Amino acid sequence: MEITKEKILETLRFVNYPELRQDIVTLNMVEEIITEDKKINITLKFPKKNDPFASSIKRACEKAVKAAFGEDISIEVFSDFSKKLQPAEFNSLAEVKNMIAISSGKGGVGKSTIAVNLAVAVAKTGAKVGLLDADVYGPSIPKMFASDGYRPEIKSENGQDIIEPLQKYGVKVLSLGFFVKPENAMIWRGPMATKALKQLISQTNWGALDYLFIDLPPGTGDIHLTIVQEMAVTGAVIVSTPQDVALTDVIKGIAMFDSEKIKVPLLGLIENMSWFTPKELPDNKYYIFGKNGCKMLSEKLNIPLLGQIPIVQSICENGDQGTPSALDNVSPEGKYFEQLAAKLVSEIEKRNRISLPTQKVKIN
C-alpha cells in the first residue's frame, strides 16, 4: 500500500482526544506529517501545555499507523517542531528475500565446502546470491574463493560505515577472514565474536538478494543464537557424513533449530562423503563412513534429504584452489551440486508457500 499524507490522516481519524471526545484530525491537532520510504514523522499540537493525554495519544497514533501500513513501519510522534525527519537508517537485509543457515553438528564434515558450492550453483541459475561466513573462529570461505588477501572497501553513508562485499562467481561474499591475516588465529571470547558478527550482518551492503547463505560454525552455541536473533532465517540445512557419531550431533542440531524458542524450519539434510568410487572402478561404491546414514535419519524424522555428495578428490582440490566444483557444468561433481541446488530451491519455495515468514528470535 502506498503511504501518503492523506491516507495517514484517514488513519489518525480513529485516534480520539479523550477530554473533547473527538478525533485529533477534526480537532486540527495534526500539525505536520513527513514521510520517507517506510519512515513517518508526525507532529501534534496539543490543547494544553504538558498535556496529560500526550503520551497515550502518541502511542495510539503509532498503533493505528502500524495497523494500517504494517509493523515494519518506523514511526515517531512529536509534540513540537524541534525534531525533523532524520536520514533513513541503513538496513543491510531489507532486500534479502531468503536467509538460509548452513549448519553441521560437528566439524570436519565438509559444511563450508557444501555452502560455497551451493551458493555458486544457485547463482548459476540466475538468482542473486550472497554468502556470509559466520564461522568466526575458523573462516575458510576466503580460501575457497581464492581471496585470502582481499580487503573489503568500507564506505561512509549517513555517518555509518558500510562494508562492500566481495563479488565473485556471481556471489556476494563476506567473511571475518577478509579482515585478518590468514596465519593469525581468531582468539576471541564469545562476546567479542558475536559483536564482530553483528557488525558484519548490520553493516554490509548486501543489496537485493534472492538467497543469502550463512555458513555457521559446527555445533550449537553463541554464534547460532546471534544469527537467529539478528536475522529472520528462512530455514536451515544440516550437513553431515553418514557416520553414526556425526548423526548423533545432527540430532542435537535439529533439536536446536526446532526448539520452542528458536523455531527455524528445517529445509533438509545433506549427506556429504557418502561413498568413494575409484576412477579405475567406476561401477564400484565404497561406503567408508557408513551407508545411507542421513537417508535413514531423514526418513525417521520426516525431514527431506536434499542430496548425497560422494568423496571426490577434485572437490577438495578445487576448494583449496579457490575454484568451486559447482563452476564446472560438465563434470559429475558439478552435476551433483546443480541437482543439490535445484532440490534446495524447491524446498525453500515449498516452505514459503505453506508457512509464514520466520521472525527474529527473542531470547531473554
Q: Would residue 307 count as lying in a domain? A: yes
Confidence of residue 188 (pLDDT cuts 50, 70, 90): low
Q: Would residue 48 count as lying in a domain? A: yes
Q: Would residue 89 count as lying in a domain? A: no
% pLDDT > 70, the chain: 93
Domain total in the chain: 2
Q: Would residue 322 count as lying in a domain? A: yes
Residue 286 DSSP one-character state: B
More confident residue, 197 or 100: 100
Confidence of residue 347 (pLDDT cuts 50, 70, 90): very high
The answer to whether residues 156 and 229 belong to one domain is yes
CATH (domain of 52): 3.30.300.130
pLDDT score, position 180? 78
The answer to whether residues 183 and 60 belong to one domain is no
Per 3-state DSSP, the chain is made up of helix, strand and coil in percentages (nearest 5) of 35, 25, 40
Confidence of residue 82 (pLDDT cuts 50, 70, 90): very low
How far is it, in rounded angstroms, from Cα 93 to Cα 142? Answer: 22
Residue the block writes with cell 559466520: 134
Q: What is the mean pLDDT of residues 210-225?
A: 91
Contact indicator for 321, 340 with CB cutoff of 8 Å: no
The answer to whether residues 164 and 63 belong to one domain is no
CATH (domain of 344): 3.40.50.300
H runs (alpha helix) in 278-331: 293-301, 313-321
Range of the domain at 62: 15-78
pLDDT score, position 83? 39
| Pairing between β-strand 171-175 and β-strand 166-168 as defined by DSSP bridges | antiparallel
3-class state of residue 200 by DSSP: helix
The answer to whether residues 161 and 209 belong to one domain is yes
**pLDDT tens digits for 315-342?**
999 999 999 999 999 999 999 999 999 9
Look up the pTM and report it: 0.75
